[in-house]
Amino acid sequence: MELDIEAIRKDFPILSRTVNGKPLIYFDNGATAQKPTLVIDAIENYYKHQNANIHRGVHTLSQEITVAYENARATIQNHLNATHAHEIIFTAGTTASINLLASSFSKKFLSKGDEIIISAMEHHSNILPWQQACEEKGAVLKVIPINAEGELLLDEYSKLLSEKTKIVAVTHISNTLGTINPIKEIITLAHAKNIPVMIDGAQAVPHTAVDVKELDCDFYVFSGHKLFGPTGVGILYGKEKWLNKLPPYQIGGGTIKTVTFEKTEYADLPLKFEAGTPHISGGIGLAKAIDYINTIGLDKIAAYEHTLLEYATERLEKIEGLKIIGRAKNKASVISFVVNGIHPFDIGTILDQLGIAVRTGHHCTQPLMQFYDIPGTIRASFAFYNTKQEIDEFVKSLERAINMLR
């Protein structure tokens, strides 16, 4: 039942390195997660033994890799419990997925006076594409407010939903606060008014199982690299009925059925949205990462990470002048905090000298920093390969940093 953390840590080669002469303590998993050997080997194996372009050649290598790539798509489909493999679109990451959706969706469905709803805790990547779409079409961006704990105000959300609302785009888990949003409720409320919903799952997929059918979300996006897979690959899941209605985003090689100088007929899903040669090793590596976490089990991962979160919260709360930002009842293993009178950058710099990787700054959520009226936070984000001993070392180092800086 219990996870064998020591064995798991051996699967991640980077965890045995040192930084500035100290054993690495990696608490920046919210920025990107480390990669297990299995994923690294899959990427290497691809370039050593499988490299060819997909969906093109009649030769053996091309056929083999096409099968491998489409198997990767199927792995992701199964992982999300999507109805069809062609509802899984490979992109370059969460940001690319949202850009694709915001661009294609607004081209087809957004007009002057329409509204798009996001939330106050969105990452810039889930603000800017919608903001720009609104500017281009003369539409209005509406924002679901939060309370001081960092929880969405669902009553206010309900009031924002109207016949003008064309889409709702909210995050599943806040990268800055760790808040797990009640996305099922958010989706149900929107669907009651026939409004589609996109969920930004970048921070959620490493911590929780996602079932798009059960959620009934219209779009779900995430990145491979936060899920222990390679950088440069991500997913846009969309319901078939929606993806079929959307125009292509980037166009070119691979996205077509026939091209003449007069007219192009576009390919069916998913190729309509996958212009150019994709990040083949990325897709294959991501599927390997998903296989890996599924052998451990996301339920076990979530339970273990929750103990890390509770332990760290308890220890940090004892530090004088330290304030945790984001106190939602429902939280993932992300802790943001500030320390009275000390800039987050200073703490991050000293912690780095002590071998500890945390994130400092605004975490690409500047509106959220404005809400809390702080320049930034220090964020520790845990993965299942982190330990209580590491948290002890982190707290000790943090106290040392605070003493130096006060």
Partner 1 sequence: MKIEEIESEIVEEFEMFDDWMQKYEHIIDLGKSLPMIEEKYKTEDKIIKGCQSRVWLHSELINGKVVFTADSDAIITKGMVALMIRVLSDHTPDEIINAKLEFIDKIGLTKHLSPTRSNGLVSMIKQMKLDAIAFKAKS
Binding site for partner 1 (CB under 8 A): 20, 342-346, 348-350, 353, 360-362, 375-376, 404-405
SS3 54: coil
Catalytic residue among 15, 141, 364, 405: 364
Active-site residue, 217 included: no
> How far apart are CB 50 and partner 1 at their closest, in Å?
34
> How far apart are CB 353 and partner 1 at their closest, in Å?
5
Q: How far apart are CA 367 and CA 189, in angstroms?
A: 25
Q: Between 232 and 348, whose beta carbon lies closer to partner 1?
A: 348
Dihedral sign of CA atoms 210, 212, 215, 219 in order: positive
Q: Between 129 and 348, whose beta carbon lies closer to partner 1?
A: 348
Q: Between 17 and 84, whose beta carbon lies closer to partner 1?
A: 17
Q: Between 21 and 252, whose beta carbon lies closer to partner 1?
A: 21
Place of tokens 């969706």: 105
Chain centroid, CA 29 distance in Å: 11
Beta strands in 120-249 (DSSP E): 140-144, 165-171, 197-200, 219-223, 234-238
Question: Helix 298-317 to helix 280-296 angle, to the nearest 10 degrees?
Answer: 80
**Does an H or E element contain 60, and which?**
helix 60-80
> How far apart are CB 281 and partner 1 at their closest, in Å?
26
> How far apart are CB 364 and partner 1 at their closest, in Å?
10
Q: Between 75 and 365, whose beta carbon lies closer to partner 1?
A: 365
Q: Are 234 and 91 in contact (CB under 8 A)?
A: yes
Closest by alpha carbon to 224, among 90, 368, 56?
A: 90
Q: Between 103 and 397, whose beta carbon lies closer to partner 1?
A: 397
Read off the DSSP letter of residue 149. Answer: T
Q: Are 102 and 133 in contact (CB under 8 A)?
A: yes
Position 155: which residue type? Answer: D
| 88-91/234-238 β-pairing | antiparallel
> How far apart are CB 97 and partner 1 at their closest, in Å?
24
Length of the chain: 406
> How far apart are CB 374 and partner 1 at their closest, in Å?
11
| 165-171/197-200 β-pairing | parallel
> How far apart are CB 343 and partner 1 at their closest, in Å?
4
What residues have CB less than 8 Å from 120, skipping those under 6 apart?
Answer: 143, 144, 145, 146, 152, 367, 368, 371
What residues have CB less than 8 Å from 80, skipping those under 6 apart?
Answer: 88, 210, 211, 212, 220, 235, 237
Q: Between 47 and 345, whose beta carbon lies closer to partner 1?
A: 345
Peptide bond into 13 cis (omega under 30): no
Residue 184, token pair as written in the block: 């099922």
Q: What residues are labeled active site?
A: 364
